[in-house]
């Protein structure tokens, strides 16, 4: 088994398939930076589906058990269901993270292509709050339709909500109420200091413990133990049997010690930390004619030298370090 310098195995690979998005979430792709003049990657710069499949196949050979497609908005990548079909052939868990704007249309094809499940990002059920957060005036009703379409196509759904104090935290309990008993697991994510464009401040973070407290006051909760090493979300279940919620507390309860994830940007740069600065250029290797053995050696070298644990080191001094943007690496 491939282990890094802190004995962490490589288990998950997150693959960004585009750096473009049709939302301009204020905390992720603020319009002031990602405006009309922003230069997104050119098509030729993106890894092709065949290149992605090749890298993913070799990573699976090194121990990866879970693949996640992300972006930008992955459903904007033309014919993404063909990529799903290619990756489904690798025989490991295959999932996709989306803002669901195109999910109602795409869910049946994604399910038929072999996607195992889907994670939908949805920060508020309140239409005006949601429209303001996505800054594209996109209505929440269409996201909810996408969720229903995915479920109808047989895809299990998780819903991820990033919580920002004073922006959408008033809606935490409403979201819990809405998704209880639906079978869709709702997970709250602490707002993180990724990238350098969102003006992150610690005061904007609503700690996971506070989120649990607020929901517990209305719908009593009890903790559930982790199911496997590297499980990101801390799980809680409703005492009345109405399902579970998850908390992803990268800020107040960092989990670097259990981080088994690697990430590939849409242009084929490999990052071993969400808070990384420079990735490793796999595309250059792939396009220079590297053999499978050479690629495996490169991946192994990168992983076995890995020592990052940014979230555990987070402090005032790390706040202003240069970091890769979430919209580039995909979360
Ligand atoms: N477009 C897809 C989507 O909406 O899920 C995939 C890419 S998006 C960058 C992945 C996730 O990152 C979303 O759930 C988004 O809310 C989350 N995200 C972006 N910036 C974040 C931040 N600063 N802190 C926490 N989560 C963030």
59 CA from centroid of ligand 1 (Å): 24
H or E element at residue 223: strand 221-224
* Residues 171, 175: Cα–Cα separation, whole Å: 6
| Regions of the chain where pLDDT drops below 50 | none
What is the per-residue pLDDT for 199? 84
71 CA from centroid of ligand 1 (Å): 9
What is the per-residue pLDDT for 317? 62
96 CA from centroid of ligand 1 (Å): 12
What is the per-residue pLDDT for 330? 78
Do the Cβ atoms of 99 and 134 come closer than 8 Å?
yes
What is the per-residue pLDDT for 316? 58
Kindly report the pTM of this predicted structure. 0.96
Ligand 1: residues with CB < 6 A are: 21, 27-28, 70-71, 73, 97-99, 121, 160, 162, 189, 191-192, 194, 198, 326-327, 330-331
- What's 244-309 look like in SS3? EEEEECCCCCCCHHHCCEEEECCCCEEECCCCCCCCEEHHHHHHCCCCHHHHHHHHHHHHHCCCCC
């Amino acid at each position: 088994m491939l282990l890094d310098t802190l004995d962490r195995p490589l288990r998950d690979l997150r693959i960004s398939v585009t750096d473009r998005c049709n939302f301009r979430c204020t905390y992720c792709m603020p319009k002031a930076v990602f405006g009309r003049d922003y230069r997104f990657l050119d098509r030729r710069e993106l890894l092709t589906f065949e290149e992605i499949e090749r890298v993913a196949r070799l990573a699976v050979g090194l121990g990866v058990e879970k693949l996640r497609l992300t972006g930008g908005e992955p459903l904007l990548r033309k014919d993404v269901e063909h990529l799903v079909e290619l990756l489904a052939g690798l025989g490991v868990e295959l999932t996709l993270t989306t803002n669901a704007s195109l999910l109602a249309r795409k869910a049946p094809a994604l399910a038929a292509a072999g996607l195992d499940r889907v994670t939908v990002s949805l920060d508020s059920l309140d239409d005006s709050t949601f429209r303001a957060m996505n800054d594209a005036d996109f209505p929440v009703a269409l996201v909810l339709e996408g969720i229903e379409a995915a479920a109808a196509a047989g895809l299990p759904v998780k819903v991820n909500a990033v919580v920002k104090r004073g922006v959408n935290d008033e809606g935490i309990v409403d979201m819990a109420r809405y998704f209880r008993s639906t079978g869709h697991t709702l997970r709250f994510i602490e707002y993180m200091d990724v990238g350098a464009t969102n003006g992150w401040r610690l005061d904007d973070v609503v700690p996971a413990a506070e989120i649990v407290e607020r929901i517990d006051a209305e719908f009593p909760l009890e903790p559930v133990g982790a199911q496997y090493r590297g499980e990101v979300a801390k799980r809680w279940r409703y005492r009345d049997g109405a399902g579970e919620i998850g908390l992803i507390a990268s800020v107040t309860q960092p989990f670097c010690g259990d981080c088994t994830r690697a990430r590939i940007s849409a242009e084929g740069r490999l990052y071993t930390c969400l808070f990384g600065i420079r990735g490793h250029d796999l595309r250059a290797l792939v396009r220079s004619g590297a053999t499978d053995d050479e690629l495996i050696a490169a991946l192994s070298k990168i992983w076995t030298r890995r020592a990052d644990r940014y979230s555990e080191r987070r402090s005032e001094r790390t706040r202003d370090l240069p970091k890769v943007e979430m919209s580039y690496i995909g979360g």
